[in-house]
Structure 1
Amino acid sequence: MKTMQLREAKAGLSALVDAAENGEPTIITRHGKPAAAIVSMDDVRKLHPDKKPNFGEFLLTYPGGIELERNPSSLRDVDL
């Protein structure tokens, strides 16, 4: 993995994007400290998948399981 200063990355951004598409990520540093990385979209999709579970799927992932029972008693009478 290459490391490059921000000012160098600005000058050669097209080359960095081409390298990322070919599977060669680059770390960009600012003042000598890692600040960002240029990676391929395939790597981004692995880290942040687009599909998010809906609320029902989320509840079903509960490790204890969910047991729902309907109360068989009759409804109470309401005077209108």
Structure 2
Amino acid sequence: MRWQVQEAKQRFSEVLRAAENGEPQIVTKHGEEVAVVIDIAEYRRLRGESVGLMDYLIADPVDDIDLDAEIGRSAEQPRDVDLAG
């Protein structure tokens, strides 16, 4: 979503709510993008900071994973391993 500065100021709670829901909010000034409001967990992830478990789970990292994707498996036979000796 894109917001002009004045509108973002007037509807800041809505901007924050959308950012918390994982929707980056772009703020423009005189038609140029000047800022983006993102969820704090995403900000920390982008900065390479460690994220606590709750923040990680709230950010829903599984949402980006295609759970129906085919998983390639090796057709090679397993090798024999001698565990006795």
- TM-score after normalising by structure 1: 0.58
Aligned residue number for residue 18 of structure 1: 17
Give the partner amino acid of 1:16.
V
| Unaligned 5+ runs, structure 1 | 52-80
Give the partner amino acid of 1:28.
V
Q: Does 1:43 align with 2:42?
A: yes
Aligned residue number for residue 27 of structure 1: 26
| Unaligned 5+ runs, structure 2 | 51-85
CA RMSD of aligned residues (A): 1.1
What SS does structure 1 have at the residue aligned with 2:43? helix
- The alpha-carbon deviation at position 34 of structure 1 amounts to 0.2
The structure showing larger relative contact order (alpha-carbon pairs under 8 Å, at least 6 residues apart) is 1
Deviation by residue 1:4-60 (Cα, 9 ceiling, x = unmatched): 100000000011111111111110000000000000012101111236xxxxxxxxx
Give the partner amino acid of 1:49.
G
Structure number with larger C-alpha Rg:
1
Q: Matched residue pairs, number?
A: 50
Aligned residue number for residue 73 of structure 2: none
- TM-score after normalising by structure 2: 0.55
